[in-house]
Every structure is written in C-alpha cells, then in structure tokens.
C-alpha cells in the first residue's frame, strides 16, 4: 500500500505509523518530503510519502477499515477482499493521497524476514546492473545514480504530463551521499566494474561477454520483456539465445531501456487508472493539479 500524507517532521514518522495497523513487513518514507530535491521548496511544505508492505493485504485492509475508515474512497463499501483484489491489479499497490495524519528513502520499520531482506538487496543489484547496460564504458558516479533514479520514470506517461522534467536530476543532485550509502558496497564487490571512489568515476566491461553476464543477471521479467522486443513472432528462441544476440548488439543499452520502459509504462497506466478508485475523484483531481503546478514551475525555472 502507498499513501501520501500531509507534511510532517522526522519525529512524526512513528507517530504517523501508530495510526495504522502494525502488521507490516516493511514501511518506509520517501520523496521530497523526506530528502531535499534541487529546486524544490522547504521539505516541510512537501507531501510526505509512505509505502507499507504487508504479507496479508486482506487482513491489513480489514484492520485499517476499522481504524481509518475515512481514509478510503467509496471502495470501503465493498469490503477488504474487493479492496485487495483491486490493489493486486497492475503493480500490486493500493494508492491513496492527501491523507490527514497528526500533523523521508528512510526505513521506518522492518521485520526479520530473510526473504524480504534478500529481495531488497537483489533489487539494488538489479538496478545497478540495468544502469551499467545503459551507460558507456566510463562514467561518473552521478551518471550512474541518474540512470538508477530514472529507472522508475522510464516509460511513465506522467513524465510527459504531470511531472517536472528535471525530477530525476533534482533527486540525484542533492542526495549523492544517500545513493553512495545504498550502492557503495555493491559497486566495490562487483567484479565487472572498476570503482575509483576517490575520483567518483567507474569503468565497466562493455565487451559482448561482459554485457551477456549483466543481461543474464537482470530480473526474469525484464529478460522476458527484452526477448519479446527482439525475437520475431513465431521464432520462439529461448531467452538465453536472445540475450546473447543483444549482448553483441551495439544498441544493447537502448534495447534494455525499451524493456524497462515497457514494464513501467504498463504499470503506470494501470496504477493511474486505479487512483480514481482508490483515492476518489476529488482527491485525484486535487493531487493531479498539484503535480501540474510543480511541472509548470519546473518549466518556468528552465526558461527564466
């Protein structure tokens, strides 16, 4: 589940969490209300974004309906099972916005779930691998973090209308130390990269053999999406064969970008459509207007 609450200070994070059922596998806060972004106003003026991960969404929604029924749109009338069914469409997220609680990525609570911890680490490694494939042989740390931060927005139609075009740059520019904390160990342990930490530079193996190893390390869903783009209809080659071809392609990075964009595009369309149901029409319109305002401010900063 994801929600966007009104602004709050760091000391309020756990107070806000206390308003919700505590059966959480993971909860974290993120966005400009947590980490400063270049060109943005004071973080206290920005919305505070949370993500809650739960093992049993039906039970969690049942408990949250009892505690916070007013947080739900008309879907509350359908009950927790139908709410969970709607959540599971697309990216598997139930999104709500403009939720009032008493009143930054930061982990707030996390249980001792080995599989979850392994998934979080695997996700970081996958982001690095995908970024490597889309970068040249030599690049700066900032280049890497720009690629990683941009993964979530690649193919998202909201970057065309509804988001500041400089959003990725604004995220990275003010938060390089946070990115280093997340990815430094992964970069130092990766055998395919030379990480010149003091210079802030990296060099990656861009040989076909090196790129094939990286392609084989990508998440299965992305590998399959790349295969769909490359393999002609009816040929039905296996994934490994297709990825070997891609590894030898001078446009390997572009193919990977296409695959990521395809995944994000489909999820963003479904998620945006669901928002009208999960947040309600009035809050969806209000939230969209706020996004349009921020996008317009970004345009004006560029032209001034």
Q: Confidence band (pLDDT; 50, 70, 90) for 261? A: very high
**What pTM value is reported for the model?**
0.74
Q: What pLDDT score does 304 carry?
A: 55
Asked if residue 130 has pLDDT above 90, the reply is: yes
Asked if residue 75 has pLDDT above 80, the reply is: yes
Q: Which residues pair with 139 in a beta bridge?
A: 202
Mean of the per-residue pLDDT values of the chain? 82
Cα distance between residue 283 and residue 63, in whole Å:
23
Our CA angle for 107, 112, 118, nearest 5°, is: 80
pLDDT in tens, 167-199: 788 889 888 999 999 999 999 999 989 999 889
Query: Residue 118's Cα: distance from chain center in Å?
Result: 17
DSSP track, 269-281 = HHHHHHHHHHT-H
pLDDT in tens, 97-112: 877 765 446 555 666 6
Q: Confidence band (pLDDT; 50, 70, 90) for 122? A: very high
Query: Residue 161's Cα: distance from chain center in Å?
Result: 18
Q: Which residues pair with 106 in a beta bridge?
A: 29
């Amino acid at each position: 589940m994801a929600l966007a609450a009104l602004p709050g200070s760091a000391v309020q994070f756990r107070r806000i969490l206390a308003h919700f059922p505590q059966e959480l596998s993971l909860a974290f806060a993120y966005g400009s209300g947590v980490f400063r972004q270049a060109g943005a106003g004071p973080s206290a003026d920005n919305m505070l974004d949370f993500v809650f991960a739960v093992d049993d969404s039906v039970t969690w929604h049942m408990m949250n309906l009892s505690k916070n029924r007013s947080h739900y749109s008309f879907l509350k009338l359908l009950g927790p099972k139908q709410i969970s069914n709607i959540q599971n469409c697309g990216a598997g997220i139930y999104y709500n916005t403009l939720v009032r609680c008493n009143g930054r990525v930061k982990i707030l609570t996390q249980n001792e779930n080995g599989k979850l911890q392994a998934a979080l680490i695997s996700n970081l490694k996958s982001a690095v691998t995908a970024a490597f494939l889309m970068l040249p042989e030599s690049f700066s740390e900032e280049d890497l973090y720009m690629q990683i931060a941009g993964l979530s927005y690649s193919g998202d139609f909201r970057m065309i209308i509804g988001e500041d075009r400089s959003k990725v740059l604004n995220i990275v520019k003010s938060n390089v130390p946070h990115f280093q904390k997340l990815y430094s160990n992964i970069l130092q342990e990766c055998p395919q990269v030379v990480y010149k930490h003091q210079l802030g530079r990296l060099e990656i193996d861009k040989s076909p053999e090196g790129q094939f190893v990286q392609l084989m390390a990508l998440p299965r869903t992305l590998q399959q999406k790349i295969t769909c783009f490359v393999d002609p209809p009816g040929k039905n080659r296996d994934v490994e064969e297709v990825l070997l071809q891609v590894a030898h392609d001078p446009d390997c990075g572009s193919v990977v970008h296409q695959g990521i964009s395809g995944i994000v595009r489909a999820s963003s369309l479904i998620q945006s459509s669901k928002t009208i149901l999960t947040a309600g029409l009035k809050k969806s319109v209000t939230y969209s207007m706020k996004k349009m305002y921020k996008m317009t401010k970004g345009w004006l900063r560029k032209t001034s």
